[in-house]
Amino acid sequence: MSTGTTKLDVVVSDVVPVNDLVTRFHFRRRDGELLPTFSGGAHVVVEMRDGERTRLNPYSLMGSPLDTSEYTISVRRDDIGRGGSLFMHRNVRPGLEMVISYPVNLFSLDLRAKKNLMLAGGIGITPFMAQTAQLAGQGGNFELHYTCRTASLATYADVLRERYNRRVRLYHDDRDERIDLDRLLSTQPLGTHLYVCGPSGMINWVRDRAASLGWPSEAVHFEHFAAPQPGLPFDVTLAVSGKVIRVGEQQSLLEAIEAAGVDPPYLCRGGVCGQCETNVISSDGKFIHNDHWLSEEDHRSGCKIMPCVSRFEGRSLVLER
């Protein structure tokens, strides 16, 4: 059960290939009404009905928050993932009726900021598409530093450069262009807020350097949706509902719990929001924690797990569900 959100019945109004890896999808409401208002950084959870299987993946909304006639997401194809992005690329065509969640924002702008410094890596550009549109509409002060592998994979770099010109700075990995991060972080005016979205290595690097250089954590915002990783199958006892379930190789623990007819709360399904946090009653084995929600202490304690992205290897696991 998605916490506090109802579903939106939408139809795919357009599918636009952007480059070799990324495709953009446009959604409109089936009843022709406007979609709910959202703010830059919000995401929706897209339900993908693939035969017997339903996948629920979060994607950042990348359109302008000023236009709610349609929602747009961009999906990077992941050939070795669990198949959600491949389903979107292969099966989703204009005219397909789909269900998405209401938008939820776990990566919102702090509107008290004097300046917004944005760092994007790869497909991590998508929330910034919406945030820059929101800020530009309000005359907001921002600067975007965007790292991509090659010019041909620099998704929306051309659009951003055209819209915002020198406020966007590009770094191409294949040309050995690197952000001079310490210099960038040391020269920002007081009252700047930092936003970073990209691979987890980049997020950790930026957060670590910012903390060392005296940036308070209140001014550092990040988002990384961890895709649930496949792994060895494992058995779980759900103590409250009195069920024993098996989590398949390609299934997340949350999906397996849902498939057994138990309906735990969730929002982001990417290890970020904390809604599906579940108490461990007993365990004999090793946790594979993949979330960004629990503290290191929680991870070590073995008393909690985020079933949307984390797994388990061992003899027995009993959860309070």
Binding site for another protein (CB under 8 A): 112-114, 185-192, 194, 211-219
Work out how close the CB of 181 gets to another protein at its nearest, in angstroms, rounded to a whole number. Answer: 13
Which residue, 32 or 216, has its beta carbon nearer to another protein? 216
Which residue, 4 or 191, has its beta carbon nearer to another protein? 191
User: Helix axis angle, 126-137 relative to 157-164, nearest 10°?
Assistant: 10
Instruction: Bin 238: left if φ > 0, else alpha if -120 < ψ < 50, else beta.
Output: beta
Which residue, 142 or 287, has its beta carbon nearer to another protein? 142
Which residue, 34 or 111, has its beta carbon nearer to another protein? 111
Cα distance between residue 280 and residue 96, in whole Å: 40
Which residue, 6 or 217, has its beta carbon nearer to another protein? 217
Which residue, 208 or 249, has its beta carbon nearer to another protein? 208
Work out how close the CB of 138 gets to another protein at its nearest, in angstroms, rounded to a whole number. Answer: 16
Work out how close the CB of 129 gets to another protein at its nearest, in angstroms, rounded to a whole number. Answer: 25
Cα distance between residue 129 and residue 146, in whole Å: 11
DSSP 33: P
Cα distance between residue 38 and residue 299, in whole Å: 33
From residue 306, alpha-carbon distances to 246, 270, 312 in Å are: 17, 9, 11
Work out how close the CB of 69 gets to another protein at its nearest, in angstroms, rounded to a whole number. Answer: 35
Q: Are 225 and 268 in contact (CB under 8 A)?
A: yes
Work out how close the CB of 64 gets to another protein at its nearest, in angstroms, rounded to a whole number. Answer: 26
Cα distance between residue 77 and residue 154, in whole Å: 14
Which residue, 133 or 219, has its beta carbon nearer to another protein? 219
Work out how close the CB of 216 gets to another protein at its nearest, in angstroms, rounded to a whole number. Answer: 3
Which residue, 51 or 189, has its beta carbon nearer to another protein? 189
Work out how close the CB of 221 gets to another protein at its nearest, in angstroms, rounded to a whole number. Answer: 12
Helix (H, G, I), strand (E, B) or coil at 116: strand
Bridge pairing between strands 42-50 and 104-105 = antiparallel
Work out how close the CB of 91 gets to another protein at its nearest, in angstroms, rounded to a whole number. Answer: 45
Transcribe 195-235 into DSSP letters.
EEES-HHHHHHHHHHHHHTT--GGGEEEE--PPPPP---EE
Is the alpha carbon torsion for 299, 300, 305, 308 positive or negative?
positive
Residue 253: half-sphere exposure toward Cβ, Cα within 13 Å? 32
